[in-house]
């Protein structure tokens, strides 16, 4: 290694995408946000954010859907780094590179994972030394799903989805993800939901769901897969009905839309079963990508740090 590379400090943080194993939605509050009762599970599809020193904030993006990601102040990684600058008062800047696996606008919180990863990466790079709890608080200001991307594994979300409590899972679950190139707008899906549902003021998870998760068997969990936003997503993108039908034909235990869609998550018994469901989904040509995935995955963590 040359002397030059040895003195370049650079931090890479990896944060996971998520699916919603269950999502119950209430009616919007005065701020327009919907109270949720949801179970998030982090999956092994990652966003890697590398932060390196720069004399102003800049961002570049590569990987799945990179051309759809804004490179200005709307970029969630930039917003996260700017918020950290603001609260710590640091005058340092960074160049952020985002390497994407999670689809853009896919209902899998890819942008939220970018924000979570950028918070952690810049906190390391700048040595601003905020504690994990402070970062989780900032994460909640950046978006409803950002705290979960920091935390990972499996968790129950309430409030806007940003208030988290642990959910125990002893085993690994096996999912097949069917991704779409074109995302869905989360506000549009919530608006369609509002137009068609008399939702409760405070949604709650059904009895037995947490026990089914901790029991660890996919067969136990399958009856609890539920997404209140699914009908709205299918109304806005009717082809998603074909994806769900293909997963069913492929023998999945069950399939649901993740979050506000359009990604579909199909639950399988084990890896071999997941591969056979994926085979049918690929043959049906209803998705831009079909991936077999273990879960739960870890939350945002430093995977590489080159220090001064």
C-alpha dist (Å) from residue 270 to 223, 279, 296? 17, 14, 14
User: x/- binding map, residues 177-196, to ligand C5P, per CB under 6 A?
Assistant: ---------xx--x------
User: Which class for 199: exposed (0-12), middle (13-18), buried (19 or more C-beta within 10 A)?
Assistant: middle
Q: What is the DSSP string of 76-136?
A: HHHHHHHHHHHHH----EEEEEEEE-SPTTSSS-HHHHHHHHHHHHHHHHTT----HHHHH
C-alpha 259, offset from chain centre? 9
Instruction: Please say if 100 is a catalytic residue.
Output: no
Least distance to ligand C5P from the beta carbon of 3, Å? 43
Identify the active-site residue in 48, 114, 145, 192: 145
User: x/- binding map, residues 115-154, to ligand C5P, per CB under 6 A?
Assistant: ----------------------------xxx---------
Least distance to ligand C5P from the beta carbon of 6, Å? 39
Measured at CB, which residue is nearest to ligand C5P? Answer: 144
- Contact between 48 and ligand C5P by CB under 6 A: the answer reads no
Choices 12-20, 32-40, 90-98, 295-303; region in contact with ligand C5P by CB under 6 A: 32-40
d(CA 144, CA 29): 14
Least distance to ligand C5P from the beta carbon of 251, Å? 33
Phi–psi pair at 206, nearest 5 degrees: -70, 150
Residue placing its CB nearer to ligand C5P in the complex, 116 or 290:
116
Q: Check if the beta carbon of residue 5 is closer than 8 Å to that of residue 186.
A: no
C-alpha 239, offset from chain centre? 22
Residue placing its CB nearer to ligand C5P in the complex, 169 or 186:
186
User: x/- binding map, residues 270-299, to ligand C5P, per CB under 6 A?
Assistant: ------------------------------
Instruction: Please say if 145 is a catalytic residue.
Output: yes
Least distance to ligand C5P from the beta carbon of 223, Å? 25
- Contact between 160 and ligand C5P by CB under 6 A: the answer reads yes
CB count within 10 Å of CB 95 equals 17
Q: Check if the beta carbon of residue 234 is closer than 8 Å to that of residue 257.
A: yes
Q: Among residues 250, 214, 186, which one has the least CA distance to residue 23?
A: 186
d(CA 190, CA 186): 6
- Contact between 161 and ligand C5P by CB under 6 A: the answer reads yes
Choose, by CB under 6 A, the member of 34, 79, 153, 237 that binds ligand C5P. Answer: 34
For the annotated catalytic residues, the residue numbers are 18, 145
Interface residues toward ligand C5P, by CB under 6 A: 33-34, 36, 143-145, 160-161, 186-187, 190
């Amino acid at each position: 290694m040359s002397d030059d590379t040895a003195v370049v400090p650079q931090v890479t943080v990896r944060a996971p995408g998520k699916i919603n194993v269950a999502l119950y939605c209430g009616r919007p509050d005065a701020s327009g946000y919907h109270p949720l009762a949801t179970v998030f599970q982090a999956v092994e599809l990652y966003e890697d954010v590398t932060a390196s020193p720069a004399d102003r904030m800049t961002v570049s993006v590569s990987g799945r859907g990179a051309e759809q990601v804004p490179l200005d102040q709307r970029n969630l990684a930039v917003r996260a780094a700017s918020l950290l600058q603001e609260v710590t008062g640091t005058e340092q800047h960074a160049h952020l590179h985002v390497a994407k696996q999670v689809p853009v606008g896919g209902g899998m919180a890819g942008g939220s994972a970018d924000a979570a990863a950028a918070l952690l990466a810049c906190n390391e790079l700048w040595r601003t030394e905020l504690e994990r709890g402070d970062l989780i608080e900032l994460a909640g200001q950046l978006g409803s799903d950002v705290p979960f991307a920091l935390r990972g594994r499996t968790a129950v979300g309430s409030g806007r989805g940003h208030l988290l409590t642990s959910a125990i899972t002893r085993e690994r679950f096996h999912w097949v993800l069917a991704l779409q190139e074109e995302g869905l707008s989360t506000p549009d899906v919530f608006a369609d939901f509002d137009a068609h549902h008399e939702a409760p003021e405070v949604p709650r998870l059904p009895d037995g769901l947490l026990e089914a998760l901790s029991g660890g068997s996919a067969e136990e969990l399958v009856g609890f897969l539920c997404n209140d936003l699914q009908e709205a997503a299918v109304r806005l993108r009717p082809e998603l009905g074909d994806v769900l039908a293909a997963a069913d034909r492929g023998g999945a235990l069950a399939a649901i839309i993740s979050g506000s869609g359009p990604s579909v998550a199909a639950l399988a018994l084990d890896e071999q079963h997941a591969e056979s469901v994926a085979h049918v989904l690929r043959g049906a040509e209803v998705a831009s990508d079909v991936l077999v995935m273990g879960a739960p995955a870890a939350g945002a963590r430093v995977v590489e740090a080159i220090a001064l």
